[in-house]
Structure 1
Amino acid sequence: MAKKGTSGRGQRDLRTRVKSARGRKLSSTLWLERQLNDPYVKRAQDEGYRGRAAFKILELDEKYRFLVPGARVVDLGCAPGGWCQVAATRVNALGERKGKKIGSVLGVDLQEVEPIAGAEIHQLDFMEDDADQKVKDWLGGKADVVMSDMAAASSGHKQTDHLRIIALCEAAAYFAFDVLDEGGTFVAKVLAGGAEGELQKLLKQRFTKVANVKPPASRSDSSEKFVVATGFRE
């Protein structure tokens, strides 16, 4: 018989609490509490992903199907590597899906990234003048997908941060224009805030369809969303 206040299985759905340690900032305590109570964090640990962000690209791909076997993928700002992990599996980079085309995943980041099975990782600033040519050389041709989960360092000022990430997304878009093959896909994180108009206009000039999506794995209290542009026109 279940005790009063418990579920039918005799277990109470307790919410983990983190006591504020002396000297710890309230913001740090709240972040830690949120992490401990986030089901996506637990899933990432259980399924071997390097972070909860892996589920964002999984959910976007479930809807738009751009990570197909045989696709050549570039992940900008790939650290810590969760998006590369997802992409490597979905494009069959390791050839584990017999009878399916074998794709490739190339991750680039300013910092060094631990090796990822099925992905080729390079330390590179994608804004360098010759970065696009380096990426095409490493890929052995043009990409089918360019994706970015990058965010500029937070300043603490909402509008400034919004403008920074839009500028970063625009830079990623121009990079994608240089490396994408005809019909390719561009996926990138943005922050809602009113300055997306020029980015949308830019993408609509080069892609047949541009969608703005907030996947379930994106926290409800976050202003982040993702732009998914498909059908690149060279």
Structure 2
Amino acid sequence: MTTKSSGRGERQLKVRVKDKRKSQSSRKWLERQLNDPYVTRAKREGYRSRAAFKLIEIDDKHRLFKPGGRVADLGAAPGGWSQVAKKRVGASGRVVGIDILEMDEIPDVEFATIDFLDPSAPDMLKEMLGGPADVVLSDMAANATGHRQTDHLKIMALVEAAAEFASEVLKPGGSFLAKVIQGGTEGALLTQLKRDFATVKHVKPAASRSDSAELYVLATGFRGRALAPSS
């Protein structure tokens, strides 16, 4: 690896990976990680991923979390969003993460290794939370194929399923935040969210890389359903 100075007053280091044993795509990914200020900040502040700062920025602006709130984190591993949620809801709040991947323990965060599509998952999560959720989070993304249209369809199907899950576990007035791919929150998902929530909008925090196609859909004011649990 080599570094370069900007030569403009303060010294800014640019790390370049010269290891020819790595593929060009691997070198570019590693260079981006090594030069990403959010990656550096995450390590310094003890967060498990740079994605933590996306949630911090969204919550600073939209105030998703309240002290004592109950939060469900879908696809929680490695745990950056669960860390943020726990800090924001405080000691009296509860955060439950679920994922098909294992996740190292986070103090005061409960975790279950289960697919959120499992029919037993909603009831199990509500039992772990001690009631319906105030917020459901999903930073999940389907494995990329490299084909933009295919990847868009895959992640939209995943978000539709996450939104349906949210409608089963949220309390009236609750919020749903999920990652989508630029190109819009369309069709069935948009209809579903507008039916179930008072407000639906797209947000893109500064911590999202400028060259990334990711956006977040934020739905607030869950209306509840006829069979939705009451708080």
**Pairwise same-fold verdict (TM > 0.5):** yes
- Alpha-carbon distance in 1 for matches of 2:64, 2:79: 18
C-alpha displacement of 1:193: 2.5
TM-score, length-scaled by structure 2: 0.91
The match for 1:18 is: 17
Q: Which of residues 203, 206, 215 in structure 2 aligns to 1:225?
A: 215
Alpha-carbon deviations, 1:174-208, whole Å to 9, x = none?
00000000000000000013562331221011100
134-143 or 81-90: bigger deviation: 134-143
TM-score, length-scaled by structure 1: 0.90
- For the pair shown, the structure with the greater C-alpha radius of gyration is 1
C-alpha displacement of 1:112: 1.1
Which residues in structure 2 correspond to 1:1-234 (within 5 Å)? 6-8=7-9, 11-19=10-18, 21-92=19-90, 95=91, 102-194=92-184, 196-234=186-224
- Alpha-carbon distance in 1 for matches of 2:136, 2:185: 22
C-alpha displacement of 1:140: 1.4
Identity %: 56
SS in structure 2 of the partner of residue 74 of structure 1:
strand
- Alpha-carbon distance in 2 for matches of 1:80, 1:107: 10
The match for 1:98 is: none
- Alpha-carbon distance in 2 for matches of 1:15, 1:75: 35
Is the contact made by 1:159 and 1:193 (CA closer than 8 Å) also made in structure 2?
Answer: no
- Alpha-carbon distance in 1 for matches of 2:123, 2:7: 61
CA RMSD, Structure 1 to Structure 2 (Å): 1.3
When the two structures are aligned, how many residues end up with a matched partner?
A: 219
Is the contact made by 2:181 and 2:214 (CA closer than 8 Å) also made in structure 1?
Answer: yes
Q: Which runs of 5+ in 2 are unaligned?
A: 1-5, 225-231
SS in structure 2 of the partner of residue 16 of structure 1:
strand
- Alpha-carbon distance in 1 for matches of 2:14, 2:186: 37
Q: Which runs of 5+ in 1 are unaligned?
A: 96-101
Alpha-carbon deviations, 1:111-136, whole Å to 9, x = none?
11100012101101110112111111
SS in structure 1 of the partner of residue 189 of structure 2:
helix
The match for 2:228 is: none
